[in-house]
A and B are shown apart, each in its own frame.
Chain A
Amino acid sequence: MTLSLLSATLAGFGQTFMTRTGKISFNATTPGSPEKIEGINNEVATIIDAKTGNIVFQLPVKSFKFEKELMQEHFNENYMESDKFPRSEFKGNITNMNEVYFTKDGTYKANVTGKLTMHGVTKDVTVPGTITIAGSSLKASARFTIKLQDYGINVPGMVADKVAKDAIIKLESDLEKK
């Protein structure tokens, strides 16, 4: 039993799936707000290791695009302080590896646990996601909510009718086997 455990962990990088153009979008709009507070980032670098179930992703914060350019400037200058914290990242792994078959085409529910680092703060998160395999392509998607306050992001009272205290985060990435 111990031997098989060792061999499983020390198997190394058998297969990894990777992309540098994954997509993460967020929505932090207060209900009834006249303006949408939504940003889209298409430069999320993601790696999923099929052997170990490790998932990492990293994104440049200044690559979040907004419908209004001024909103992008406020996002970087006032909320995310992107000059101080230029990258956000996630390090974690799939906890139900026995239910995800990376070599068999199909759609699988993947439960992911790990550490999300944003605005200089690291917090544990658990995210339910979906992995779809089609040959050497992997589609990963996930949706979860975070409290902005947990990451030290303050929403001043002046904009509380537009910017919500929680942000819904959506991840949609197409990865290719390396």
Chain B
Amino acid sequence: MRKIIVLSVLFSLTINTLFAQADSLMAMLNSGNQSQKKEIVTATFKATRIIDGNSIENLGSGVLDFRISHRFGDLNQGSTNFFGLDNATTRIGLDYGITSWLMIGLGHSTLNKENDGFAKIKLLKQRINGTPVSISYAGSISVQTTPAPSLPAGETWEYTNRLYYTNQLLIARKFSNKFSLQIAPTIVHYNLVDSTKFSNNTIAIGIGGRIKVSHRIAITGEYYYRITNADLLVNGQPTYNALSVGIDIETGGHVFQLMFTNSQGLTDRTFIGQTTDSWGKGSLHFGFNISRVFTIIKPKEFQGTGSGW
């Protein structure tokens, strides 16, 4: 009997020792982990745009994004214009991730026949229990290609009159899996404005955010408050701050963004500084962005021959 007790105690000691040894092996692995860098926070926003403006998200290296954006006409237009459907503006664009921290994009908009190009650079990444925010820089140039106006004899229409430049610093924080917020100090430079009493520079601060309501659906909001040049007139019309609310819906390869906004412009310089419609007057535009990504350059783990399953 005593032999059985001794044997069983020894046996359980053995098993415990075995598991204790597995635990101490695991501890060996964990101690190596402490020296590793803190984890990067990913997916602060679902797309590279919040609604109209840039988010701090970049495309991955070797990824191409085909984007179509539509803003329908003023809902106030009533049934004759099919509640705005008949007066839509569109932008078609291609974005490409050159590296994991640098992306570029090109686009053409029907409004003002505008061509735009931009670049977005990741400067700082938010980390878990580390760096509190992610910071990116976004800069864009756009060209209005509408025919030059007829001018009195002796005056020339400079090409540079058509150019606009936007520079933004994007600062964002993912507060939780469900909530992210971004602020974006912005300067838009207009080479030509309607009159000398307006500044050529509009300084604004954008604020945007998203609240995830399920794994694939999020509610978004964006507001650009102009600190200077808020009295800018466009063709004699007053301008307003851009305010948008929307929904992001994500399926396998697409992200659909639906929104209501008072801006019909789809480039930085139009929607930030030259929005001529207002929520107060009920002149809203329903719109959507569709984004479809393609992998152009596969990650190195997937290059070469088949996976051999």
Interface residues of B (CB under 8 A from A): 6-7, 10, 13-14, 17-19, 21-23, 25-26, 28-30, 32-33, 39, 42-43, 59-60, 63, 128, 177, 215-216, 251-253, 293, 295, 298-299, 301-302, 307, 309
A: interface residue count bin: 35 or more
**Quick one: CB contact mask for A53-89 with B, threshold 8 Å, 1 for yes?**
0111010101001111110010011100001001001
Give Cα A114–Cα B276 distance, bound, in whole angstroms: 66
Chain B residue nearest to A35 in the complex (CB): B252
Q: Are B18 and A93 in contact (CB under 8 A)?
A: yes
Q: Are B14 and A65 in contact (CB under 8 A)?
A: no
Cβ distance A56 to chain B, nearest Cβ, rounded Å: 5
A–B Cβ pairs within 8 angstroms, 24 of them = A9-B13, A10-B17, A16-B25, A25-B307, A45-B33, A49-B25, A52-B18, A52-B21, A54-B18, A56-B22, A58-B26, A58-B29, A60-B39, A62-B39, A62-B42, A66-B299, A67-B302, A68-B293, A70-B252, A70-B293, A76-B43, A91-B26, A168-B309, A170-B309
Cβ distance B33 to chain A, nearest Cβ, rounded Å: 8
Known: A67-B299, A69-B295, A162-B252. A76 touches B42 (CB 8 A): yes
Q: Are B302 and A40 in contact (CB under 8 A)?
A: yes
Q: Are A45 and B29 in contact (CB under 8 A)?
A: yes
Cβ distance B135 to chain A, nearest Cβ, rounded Å: 20
Cβ distance B212 to chain A, nearest Cβ, rounded Å: 9
Give Cα A162–Cα B253 distance, bound, in whole angstroms: 12
Chain A residue nearest to B299 in the complex (CB): A65
> Which chain A residues in 1-36 approach chain B with CB under 8 Å?
2, 5-6, 9-10, 13, 16, 20, 25, 27, 35-36
Give Cα A40–Cα B29 distance, bound, in whole angstroms: 20
Q: Are A91 and B43 in contact (CB under 8 A)?
A: no
Q: Are B22 and A91 in contact (CB under 8 A)?
A: yes
Contacts of B33 in A (CB 8 A): 45, 58
Contacts of B30 in A (CB 8 A): 58
- Which of A5, A38, A60, A69 interacts with B10 by CB under 8 Å? A5
Interface residues of A (CB under 8 A from B): 2, 5-6, 9-10, 13, 16, 20, 25, 27, 35-36, 38, 40, 42, 45, 47, 49, 52, 54-56, 58, 60, 62, 65-70, 73, 76-78, 83, 86, 89, 91-93, 114, 158-159, 162, 168, 170
Q: Are A20 and B298 in contact (CB under 8 A)?
A: no
Q: Are B63 and A69 in contact (CB under 8 A)?
A: yes
Known: A68-B295, A83-B177, A91-B26. 13 other contacts (CB 8 A): A10-B17, A13-B21, A38-B307, A45-B29, A62-B39, A65-B299, A67-B298, A67-B302, A73-B43, A77-B177, A86-B39, A91-B23, A170-B309
Give Cα A76–Cα B295 distance, bound, in whole angstroms: 19
Chain B residue nearest to A48 in the complex (CB): B25
| Complex A-B, nearest 8 residue pairs according to Cβ-Cβ distance, in ascending order | A69-B60, A78-B215, A40-B301, A91-B22, A56-B25, A67-B302, A54-B22, A47-B25
Q: Are B309 and A65 in contact (CB under 8 A)?
A: no
With most chain B CB atoms within 10 A of its CB, the pick from A20, A35, A67, A86 is A67
Contacts of A42 in B (CB 8 A): 301
Contacts of A66 in B (CB 8 A): 299, 302
Contacts of A49 in B (CB 8 A): 21, 25
Contacts of A62 in B (CB 8 A): 39, 42
Contacts of B177 in A (CB 8 A): 77, 83
Give Cα A27–Cα B309 distance, bound, in whole angstroms: 8
Chain A residue nearest to B10 in the complex (CB): A2
